[in-house]
C-alpha cells in the first residue's frame, strides 16, 4: 500500500465522493473534507472532517501532513443556481480557493490539482449551437460566465503564479458537464442530465415535461467514471497548464431528452420555457491537447452513461415513494 497521503476537498459532493472511492481502490490514504457528508452513501475516506474552507485556519488543518491535494470544493450548481447568485458564489469560491492554495504552500504540499470549469471560456465563442469545440488557449481574451466562470479563471492564474513564484506543482482541469449516479438530481443545484432524468422518471407515458430554453442549445456531457480516471491521470502527468476534461459528443438538449425518454421507455412531449436560464448557446470540448498529454481521452458514449444514471435516479424516486 502506498504511503502517499491525499486530501480531497469537496469530498461530500458528487465528483469528490467518487474520487475518494477511486483513490482508496488505488491504495492511497485519503482524507476527505467538506461542510457536508456524501448524500447517498457513506464516505470511503480514512478520515472525513467537516470544515468550512472559506477560513484559512480550516484549510491549514485540512492540509496537515498531506502530500497531494485534489481541490474540488466549491459553491456551485446547475445553470439556474450559478446565474442567480453571482456575488455569493464569487465570494465563497474566491475565499475557498485562495486559502486552500496558500495552505498548500505553507504546509509543503507536493502537488495541488484545481478543478476548473468550461465556464471559463469566452461567451463570444459560444453564441451558436454549432460553435467550434473549445481549445484550452481559447480562454483568453477573457469573457467568462459571470460569477462562477470568472472566479474559476482567476484561480487558474493564481495556480500559475504559485507555481512560478513558490514552486508549488499545480494542475488545472476544466470540467465539461459531469453526470452519473450518486449526483444531485433535484433542489436547484442539479445539472441538466440529472434534472431531465428526474422529470422523465416522474412523468407518465405521454406526459409533457418542461425544458429550459428552446432545446436547441448544445452541450457535451462527461460520464463520472471517465471524469475520475481523467482527474487521476492529469494529477500524475507532468503538465502544469489547464486541460479540458470532457466528452466530444455534442448533442442538443432536445436530443438529450429523447435519449433519456428512450431509456425510460416513454413517449414524452416537450414544453419550452424561454424565460428560464439556458447558459451559452453551444459548448463542446476539444480533447486534442488531452490526448497529446495523456495518450488518453474519455470513451463513454452518452447513451451508455445515461442508462445507469437514469436507473439510479429512478430508483431513488421509487424508494422515496414518488413513483410506483
How far apart (Å, rounded) are the C-alpha atoms in residues 148 and 256?
Answer: 24
Could you confirm whether 223 is annotated as catalytic? no
- DSSP structural state of residue 98: H
pLDDT at 241: 98
Q: What is the mean pLDDT of residues 26-39?
A: 97
Per-residue pLDDT tens digits for 109-165: 999 999 999 999 999 999 999 999 999 999 999 999 999 999 999 999 999 999 999
- Tens of pLDDT, residue by residue over 153-180, are 999 999 999 999 999 999 999 999 999 9
Q: Which CATH class is domain 5-178+223-245?
A: alpha beta
Q: Which fold has domain 179-220+249-284+301-319?
A: UDP-galactose 4-epimerase; domain 1 (3.90.25)
Catalytic residue among 70, 148, 162, 310: 148
pTM flag (> 0.85): yes
Question: Looking at the chain, which residues constitute the CATH 3.40.50.720 domain(s)?
Answer: 5-178+223-245
For the cut 80, the answer to whether the pLDDT of residue 188 exceeds it is yes
pLDDT (0 to 100) of residue 324: 85
Residue limits of CATH 3.90.25.10 in the chain: 179-220+249-284+301-319
Strand pairing report for 218-220 and 250-252: antiparallel
C-alpha cell at 170: 499545480
pLDDT of residue 2: 53
Q: By C-alpha distance, which of 200, 169, 198 is closest to 186?
A: 198
The pLDDT value given to residue 1:
47
Amino acid at each position: 500500500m502506498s504511503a502517499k497521503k491525499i486530501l480531497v476537498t469537496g469530498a461530500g459532493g458528487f465528483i469528490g465522493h467518487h474520487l475518494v472511492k477511486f483513490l482508496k481502490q488505488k491504495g492511497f490514504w485519503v482524507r476527505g473534507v467538506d461542510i457536508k457528508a456524501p448524500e447517498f452513501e457513506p464516505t470511503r475516506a480514512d478520515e472525513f472532517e467537516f470544515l468550512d474552507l472559506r477560513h484559512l485556519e480550516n484549510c491549514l488543518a485540512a492540509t496537515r501532513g498531506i502530500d497531494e491535494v485534489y481541490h474540488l470544493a466549491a459553491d456551485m450548481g446547475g445553470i439556474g443556481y450559478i446565474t442567480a447568485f453571482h456575488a455569493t458564489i464569487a465570494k465563497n469560491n474566491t475565499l475557498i480557493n485562495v486559502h486552500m492554495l496558500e495552505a498548500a504552500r505553507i504546509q509543503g504540499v507536493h502537488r495541488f490539482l484545481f478543478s476548473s470549469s468550461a465556464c471559463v471560456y469566452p461567451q463570444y465563442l459560444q453564441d451558436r449551437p454549432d460553435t467550434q469545440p473549445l481549445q484550452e488557449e481559447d480562454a483568453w481574451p477573457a469573457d467568462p460566465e459571470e460569477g462562477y466562470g470568472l472566479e474559476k479563471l482567476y484561480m487558474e492564474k493564481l495556480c500559475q503564479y504559485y507555481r512560478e513564484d513558490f514552486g508549488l506543482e499545480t494542475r488545472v482541469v476544466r470540467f465539461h458537464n459531469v453526470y452519473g449516479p450518486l449526483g444531485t438530481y433535484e433542489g436547484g443545484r442539479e445539472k441538466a442530465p440529472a434534472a431531465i432524468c428526474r422529470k422523465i422518471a416522474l412523468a407518465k407515458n405521454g406526459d409533457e415535461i418542461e425544458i429550459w430554453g428552446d432545446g436547441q442549445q448544445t452541450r457535451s456531457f462527461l460520464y463520472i467514471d471517465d471524469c475520475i480516471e481523467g482527474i487521476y491521470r492529469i494529477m500524475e502527468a507532468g503538465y502544469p497548464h489547464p486541460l479540458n476534461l470532457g466528452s466530444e459528443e455534442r448533442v442538443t438538449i432536445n436530443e438529450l431528452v429523447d435519449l433519456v425518454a428512450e431509456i425510460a421507455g416513454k413517449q414524452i412531449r416537450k414544453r419550452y420555457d424561454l424565460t428560464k436560464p439556458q447558459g451559452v448557446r453551444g459548448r463542446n470540448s476539444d480533447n486534442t491537447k488531452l490526448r497529446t498529454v495523456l495518450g488518453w481521452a474519455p470513451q463513454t458514449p452518452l447513451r451508455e452513461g445515461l442508462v445507469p444514471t437514469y436507473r439510479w435516479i429512478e430508483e431513488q424516486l421509487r424508494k422515496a415513494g414518488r413513483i410506483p
